[in-house]
Amino acid sequence: MRLFSHIVLAVLCIFYFTRSFSQEYDFDIPEEEEAKIEFNGNLDAKWGLLRAQRSSPFYAVQFYDVPEKDDYLSQYRLDFYLNGVYRHKQVGFFIKTFYQYAKEEPLSPSFFELYGSLNVSPRLSMSIGKQRFNWGKGYAFNPVGYVNAEKDPENPDLALAGKPSVYLNYNRSYDSRILQNWSLGAMLLPPEADRNDRFASAEHIGAAVKLYFLIKNIDLDFMATFRKDAPRRLGLDFSTNLRENLEIHGEFSYAQDEKKYVAADDLITSCKMDGGSYLIGLRYLNRLNTTLIAEYYHNNSGLSENEFRAYLQYLRNSVESNRAEMVDAAKGNMSIIFRSKTLMRDYLYVKLMQPEPFAWLYSSVSLFTIYNLSDHSYLISPQLSYRPYTNFEFLLWPFFFFGGNDTEYGNKPFKSKIEIWIRFYF
């Protein structure tokens, strides 16, 4: 915790230093006289058609127990989100629930968020419960997202579950040409219960801090996270507008004793390593109202080409052994250890978005690609959105995967897929 004390000391120094060259000011926040309760949400009906890639070891492991292998599969599900907000004076309560229906089974809610907040003063606020955080400036990747849910780069806007936390945030603003604002956020992260489903070791309580500055037109964050059973991480990010229509952003994260898993013959082994992951990106808007997002991401703990080939061979060996216990072990490793959508080291993400193309009202189109710079495999995905009525949206969303026999996107379980969404808002 020595590093934590150094960060707190640095914050105190910054506080006294900024007072010497800048004049602070306060906002008078009027109190709400009446309590306000709001509800909103959406229902997504999703149907997908998937073209199987039966030569993929991922497909072979995932569908090992299925006697009849089909070239095409379909998928149907209903996703229901219900959000509630209660506000009264300085107190707030927030809830975000998620239900998914795929077959006739009892539905149970997943609480993406469930927390209460209190504005102690115009500068100090706190919250307790399960809350979503969005650390980092990246769109598709967040190497400094230490307290975020793991983002899916194929759908970065997907709603995800938060984490239980006790969160404090202190904010100061100044009337200065240099430093306009700074804030300090600190949180405790209780571990998940693993003993009788009710208790957890107190030694595994985590802590995270984030220090934010607005210096001229530059957003700058410094963050750190500590937990006994996890690597110690230090990070920073920034974003700024070079022009009114051009923004650049970046992130850098350094991890100590980070675990990396690799396949060797029929075993999965691990080693600890130090190093940095980083991201650099931009967002550009042209005169035609076309938005371009481009990001380069380096994953320090990602697999090299040879390591990924060894992992593919491990999966093939598990299937070829024709032993259920080996296939089950491989399936477990796929879903737990190697569950990330970015298993390898270097990726390029590019997305183009155009609202109302060809003067087609209430519509938008987009196209994105994720290119694996290590093995030169990639995916391409266009998307068409149409909102002909209030609170109604139609989505057409295909995916296409390309790559060689020993590449990441060339070995996806499906060669291509197309999804049709019908979304109702309320």
Please state the three-class secondary structure of 312-379 as a single string. Answer: HHHHHHHHHCCCHHHHHHHHHHHHHCCCCCCCECEEEEEEEEEECHHHCCCEEEEEEEEEECCCCCEE
**Does residue 358 have a pLDDT over 60?**
yes
Tell me the C-alpha distance between 223 and 244, whole Å.
28
Quote the pLDDT of residue 185: 97
Quote the pLDDT of residue 67: 84
Q: In 3D, which of 25, 27, 29 has the Cα closest to residue 180?
A: 25
CATH topology of domain 2-425: Porin (2.40.160)
Q: Name the CA dihedral angle for 236, 242, 244, 249, rounded to a multiple of 10 degrees.
A: -30
Instruction: Report helix angle 305-320 to 324-336, nearest 10.
Output: 150
Q: Which residues make beta-bridge pairs with 100?
A: 79
Residue 19 φ/ψ region, left for φ over 0, alpha for ψ in the -120 to 50 degree band, beta for the rest: alpha
Backbone phi, then psi, for 211, in 5-degree steps?
Answer: -115, 120
pTM: 0.89
Share of the chain above pLDDT 90, in %: 79
Query: Which tens digit of pLDDT belongs to each residue from 411-425?
Result: 999 999 999 999 999
Give residue limits of the domains in the chain. Answer: 2-425
**Does residue 68 have a pLDDT over 90?**
no
Q: Which residues make beta-bridge pairs with 338?
A: none
Quote the pLDDT of residue 373: 97
CB < 8 Å & 24+ apart, contacts of 272-279? 273/300, 273/301, 275/300, 275/301, 276/252, 276/300, 277/143, 277/252, 277/253, 277/301, 278/143, 278/250, 278/251, 278/252, 278/253, 279/136, 279/138, 279/141, 279/142, 279/143, 279/249, 279/250, 279/251, 279/252
Tell me the C-alpha distance between 76 and 48, whole Å.
6
CB < 8 Å & 24+ apart, contacts of 322-330? 324/64, 326/266, 327/61, 327/64, 330/61
Average pLDDT over residues 247-269: 93
Name which residue leads in pLDDT, 70 or 125.
125
Average pLDDT over residues 108-133: 94
**Cα 131–255–265 angle (5° rounding)?**
105
Query: Which tens digit of pLDDT belongs to each residue from 216-234?
Result: 999 999 999 998 888 999 9
Query: Which tens digit of pLDDT belongs to each residue from 280-307?
Result: 999 999 999 999 999 999 999 999 999 9
* Burial of 20 from C-beta contacts in 10 A (0-12 / 13-18 / 19+): exposed
Tell me the C-alpha distance between 91 and 85, whole Å.
11
How does residue 104 score in pLDDT terms, banded at 50, 70 and 90? confident
Quote the pLDDT of residue 33: 57
**Mean pLDDT computed over every residue of the chain:** 90
Quote the pLDDT of residue 16: 46
Query: Which tens digit of pLDDT belongs to each residue from 376-404?
Result: 999 999 999 999 999 999 999 999 999 99
DSSP string, 371-416: EETTT--EEEEEEEEE--STTEEEEEEEEEEE--TTSSGGG-SEEE
Helix ranges restricted to H, 2-102: 2-21, 57-62
Quote the pLDDT of residue 31: 52
**Does residue 159 have a pLDDT over 90?**
no
Query: Which tens digit of pLDDT belongs to each residue from 6-65?
Result: 444 444 444 444 444 444 444 454 554 578 999 999 999 999 999 999 999 999 999 999
Backbone phi, then psi, for 159, in 5-degree steps?
Answer: -70, 135
Quote the pLDDT of residue 266: 82
Name which residue leads in pLDDT, 130 or 20.
130
- Supply 150's token pair: 């793991």
Q: Please give the distance of CA 369 from its chain centroid, rounded to a whole number.
A: 17
Tell me the C-alpha distance between 292 and 279, whole Å.
16
DSSP string, 12-26: HHHHHHHHHH-EE--
Mean pLDDT lowest among 23-32, 65-74, 195-204, 356-365: 23-32
**Does residue 115 have a pLDDT over 90?**
yes
**Does residue 247 have a pLDDT over 80?**
yes
